[in-house]
């Protein structure tokens, strides 16, 4: 059902856990399907210095979370804001159609974190 890359990110997720003293914490959740994700960001000079996540969800949700953290590390906040849920799914080499909604939480949590960070900075 899932391709090798998805299974790899599910089995060996990158950047799992909480960051100490994060600059921003993004959250997203679908009450309906039950998946929730928390994303932690460390930002320096408008660039994502470190990132980590915690996810309650299916294989696609966990793999998407992990994939996203790899995609955004080192990116500027402007670049990161442009990443879409579809980009994450594409980077994973595709997800089964029924699973696309499960991957939608990753970019949403990222955007939430960046928006909160900017608000805090007064931007």
Partner 1 sequence: MTSRKVYMDHGATTPVREEVLEAMLPFFREHYGNPSSLHAQGRAVRKELENARDIIAGVLGAEPKEIIFTSGGTESNNIVLRGAAKKRGAPGHIITTSIEHHAVFDVCRDLEKEGHQVTYLPVDKYGKVDPQSVRKAIRPDTFIISVMAANNEIGTLQPIEEIGAIAAEHKVLFHTDAVQVVGQLPLNLSKLKADFLSLSAHKFNGPKGVGALFMRKGIRVAPIYIGGGQERKIRPGTENVPAIIGMAKALELAAAEMDEKSRSLTKLRDRLISGLLQIDEVILNGHPDERLPGNVNVSFKHIEGESVLLSLDLQGVAASSGSACSSGSLDPSHVLSAIGLDHPTAHGSIRFSLGYGNNDDDIDYVLEIIPAITDRLRRISPTYKPKAV
- Cα–Cα distance for residue pair 2/18, rounded to 1 Å: 27
Instruction: Tell me whether residue 35 or residue 108 sits nearer to partner 1 (CB atom).
Output: 35
Is the sign of the CA dihedral 86, 92, 96, 102 positive or negative? Answer: negative
- Examine residue 24 and tell whether it contacts partner 1 (CB under 8 A): no
102 as an active site residue: the answer is yes
Coil, strand or helix: which one is 83? coil
Instruction: Tell me whether residue 13 or residue 46 sits nearer to partner 1 (CB atom).
Output: 13
- Cα–Cα distance for residue pair 49/7, rounded to 1 Å: 26
Query: Cα 76 to chain center, whole Å?
Result: 15
- Examine residue 35 and tell whether it contacts partner 1 (CB under 8 A): yes
Return the residue of 24, 51, 61, 80 that touches partner 1, per CB under 8 A: 61
**Among 16, 25, 33, 58, the one annotated catalytic:** 33
Residues that bind partner 1 (CB under 8 A): 2, 7, 10-11, 13, 16-17, 30-38, 54-62, 98-99, 101-102
């Amino acid at each position: 059902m899932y391709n090798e890359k998805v299974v790899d990110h599910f089995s060996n997720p990158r950047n799992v856990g909480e960051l100490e003293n994060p600059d921003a914490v993004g959250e997203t959740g679908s009450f309906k399907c039950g998946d929730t994700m928390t994303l932690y960001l460390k930002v320096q000079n408008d660039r994502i210095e470190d990132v980590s996540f915690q996810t309650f969800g299916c294989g696609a949700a966990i793999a998407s979370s992990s994939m996203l953290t790899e995609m955004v590390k080192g990116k500027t906040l402007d670049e990161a804001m442009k990443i879409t849920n579809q980009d994450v799914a594409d980077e994973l080499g595709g997800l089964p159609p029924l699973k696309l909604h499960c991957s939608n939480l990753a970019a949403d949590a990222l955007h939430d974190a960046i928006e909160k960070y900017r608000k805090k900075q007064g931007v």
